[in-house]
Amino acid sequence: MITKKAALGEGTLMIYRMVLVSLIAVIVLGMSSIYYDYSLNVRDAEAQILSKQIVNCIAPEGKIENLSIERGKLLDYCDIKNVDRFYVNMSVGGLNFWQGDSGAIWVKNLFSNGKIDTEAIEKYKPGFYSSEFPVLFGDKKDIIKLDVFVSHDE
């Protein structure tokens, strides 16, 4: 024989049990999705491709004709899309051009100096490519020095 109060108590207990089981299920599923998550890193390849596109834009056929680039707008000058993830720094003929957040250099140094364990956050390591391209700047031989950083896609 169950009284009305006891039936109400049993209902409350059932709700508590369901909430507890749901919480455990969410925790287990969440942890398994984090543990089995796999991120393929192609940022180094992207950095290399981007550097070649920039050089082809600035010096088509290896010759620099015009360098009227606005400060901090190197990628916009070359009509590159989705520039939020990139930081590029180029120097040629004593001039310096760049675009993006230079904090990417600090993040890259964090991964490369080895002072902290970065294995758990390896998926956030920026892609990097540094290169030098010999070109003709006006009538003189010069070298384009280019550093490209590609951050993780949000």
Residues that bind another protein (CB under 8 A): 1-4, 7, 14, 17-18, 21, 25, 28-29, 32-33, 36, 38-40, 42, 45-46, 49-50, 52-53, 78-83, 85-86, 153
Structure tokens at 51: 């550097």
With vertex at residue 72, the alpha carbon angle to CA 148 and CA 150, rounded to the nearest 5 degrees, is 25
When the beta carbons of 68 and 82 are compared against another protein, the nearer one is 82
Instruction: Name the minimum Å distance from CB 79 to another protein.
Output: 4
**Three-class secondary structure of residue 59 per DSSP:** coil
Residue 20, amino acid:
L
Instruction: Name the minimum Å distance from CB 102 to another protein.
Output: 19
Residue 56, amino acid:
N
When the beta carbons of 28 and 95 are compared against another protein, the nearer one is 28
When the beta carbons of 25 and 121 are compared against another protein, the nearer one is 25
Residues sharing a CB contact under 8 Å with residue 93, sequence separation 6 or more, in sequence order: 64, 67, 137, 140, 142
Q: What are phi and psi of 20, to 5 degrees?
A: -65, -45
Q: Is the Cα dihedral 79, 84, 85, 87 positive or negative?
A: positive
When the beta carbons of 49 and 67 are compared against another protein, the nearer one is 49
Instruction: Name the minimum Å distance from CB 44 to another protein.
Output: 11
When the beta carbons of 50 and 104 are compared against another protein, the nearer one is 50
Instruction: Name the minimum Å distance from CB 143 to another protein.
Output: 23
